[in-house]
Amino acid sequence: MSKPITLLTVEATEQLSPGMVRIRFSGDLAAFADSAFTDRYVKLVFGDPAELETGGRPTLRTYTVIAPDVARGTLAIDFVVHGDQGVAGPWAARARPGDTIHVRGPGGAYAPDPAADWHLLAGDEAAIPAIRQALAALPDDAQGYAVIQVDGPVHEQPVATPAGVALTWLHRADPAQPGLADAVRALPWREGRVHAFVHGEGQAVMKDIRPYLYVERGVPRADVSISAYWKQGRTEETFREWKAELARTEEGTS
Ligand SMILES: Cc1cc2nc3c(=O)[nH]c(=O)nc-3n(C[C@H](O)[C@H](O)[C@H](O)COP(=O)(O)OP(=O)(O)OC[C@H]3O[C@@H](n4cnc5c(N)ncnc54)[C@H](O)[C@@H]3O)c2cc1C
């Protein structure tokens, strides 16, 4: 059965950083009543949502849903505004109260396991909403690391962590700083069972960090939530082709 479609109305917008805008929406959020995943996401539908039922192909873009409140009928989405290219980023930059958009979902697959010995959360701007929600769901005595890459210091945002979770901000504009993958590799590996959440740009996440966790560290796949949220130089459509190609290559080599 296909996922429900919800009509959302923009209530307010807020600039969180020079490159990120929060949009608060209202709507009938019945579809969100049972979603307990901290990475819950929806597909924004740019076009006629009726086409989804009739085999049409409206443009879809995927975004993490923040704090859906079913009783109040409110939720928020934090959008990376990455220039004039694309559909969702420019839409978010222009959005005004009263604008509407349909979303399909929610989906989701991860919430931090409180029984894990430690947690590893890593990603870039696009993953900040999901990482922030995961950190908020951790028990007070949780241990681990959060590593987030942004363009520079002005792009950092408030992210609360339990005392035992060390948060590192990386600045990609600073050539002296490591990239996301090297920073993750440099973290002192801890004893015990790790639960990992790693999402962001495809190359760093899928080609660099994923083999490090699975092959070099031997982390079981069930203990890792990892995926590309976007791909440098590709729109979401051609990025899906890249993901399919990656999956085919891996089937051929496993
Ligand atoms: C499960 C999931 C959850 C996600 N949650 C969020 C979220 O909460 N907030 C969020 O902002 N994004 C999130 N993303 C990423 C988002 O779906 C992509 O960034 C998407 O490509 C944006 O669509 P667009 O129409 O703006 O750009 P597209 O049309 O897809 O791409 C246009 C150009 O912009 C570039 N581009 C796309 N995204 C970025 C970026 N983040 N930084 C720099 N350049 C980029 C592309 O490489 C391309 O060159 C999530 C993705 C997934 C799979």
Q: Going by CA atoms, what residue is nearest to atom 12 of ligand 1?
A: 126
- The pLDDT of residue 240 is 87
Which residues constitute the domain of residue 207? 118-230
Q: What average pLDDT does the segment 63-82 reach?
A: 97
- For the cut 90, the answer to whether the pLDDT of residue 248 exceeds it is no
Q: Do the domain assignments include residue 42? A: yes
Question: At 252, is the pLDDT very low, low, confident or very high (cuts 50, 70, 90)?
Answer: low
- For the cut 90, the answer to whether the pLDDT of residue 89 exceeds it is yes
Longest dimension (CA), the chain: 52
Going from the C-alpha of 164 to that of each of 115, 130, 139, 140, 224, the distances in angstroms are: 15, 19, 10, 8, 20
Domain boundary among 75, 107, 139: 107
Query: Could you tell me if 45 and 84 lie in one domain?
Result: yes
Q: Which atom of ligand 1 is nearest to the CA of 236?
A: 30
Query: Could you tell me if 134 and 225 lie in one domain?
Result: yes
Using the mean position of ligand 1's atoms as its centre, give its distance from the Cα of residue 125 in Å: 10
- For the cut 80, the answer to whether the pLDDT of residue 251 exceeds it is no
CATH number of the domain at 29, please.
Answer: 2.40.30.10
CATH number of the domain at 172, please.
Answer: 3.40.50.80
- For the cut 90, the answer to whether the pLDDT of residue 97 exceeds it is yes
Q: Do the domain assignments include residue 249? A: no
Tokens of 2: 């296909």
Of 42, 19, 64, nearest in space to 157 by CA: 19
pLDDT (tens digit per residue) in 101-147: 999 999 999 999 999 999 999 999 999 999 999 999 999 999 999 99
Q: Do 194 and 118 contact (CB within 8 A), yes or no?
A: yes
Query: Could you tell me if 62 and 39 lie in one domain?
Result: yes
- For the cut 80, the answer to whether the pLDDT of residue 254 exceeds it is no
Q: What average pLDDT does the segment 30-45 reach?
A: 95
Whether ligand 1 lies within 6 angstroms of the CB of 59 is answered as no
Backbone angles phi, psi at 6, to 5 degrees: -125, 135
Q: Going by CA atoms, what residue is nearest to atom 42 of ligand 1?
A: 82
Using the mean position of ligand 1's atoms as its centre, give its distance from the Cα of residue 150 in Å: 14
- For the cut 70, the answer to whether the pLDDT of residue 56 exceeds it is yes
Higher pLDDT, 123 or 53: 123
Q: CA–CA separation, 34 vs 50, rounded Å?
A: 24
Question: At 249, is the pLDDT very low, low, confident or very high (cuts 50, 70, 90)?
Answer: confident
Q: What average pLDDT does the segment 197-210 reach?
A: 96
Q: Do 171 and 152 contact (CB within 8 A), yes or no?
A: yes
**Domains: count for the chain:** 2
- For the cut 70, the answer to whether the pLDDT of residue 1 exceeds it is no
Q: Do the domain assignments include residue 166? A: yes
Q: Going by CA atoms, what residue is nearest to atom 22 of ligand 1?
A: 88
- The pLDDT of residue 55 is 83
Going from the C-alpha of 194 to that of each of 139, 162, 218, the distances in angstroms are: 15, 16, 11
Ligand 1 mutation pick, 230, 238, 240, 243, max ligand atoms within 8 A of CB: 230
Ligand 1 mutation pick, 20, 40, 45, 82, max ligand atoms within 8 A of CB: 82
* DSSP H/E element including 129: helix 128-137
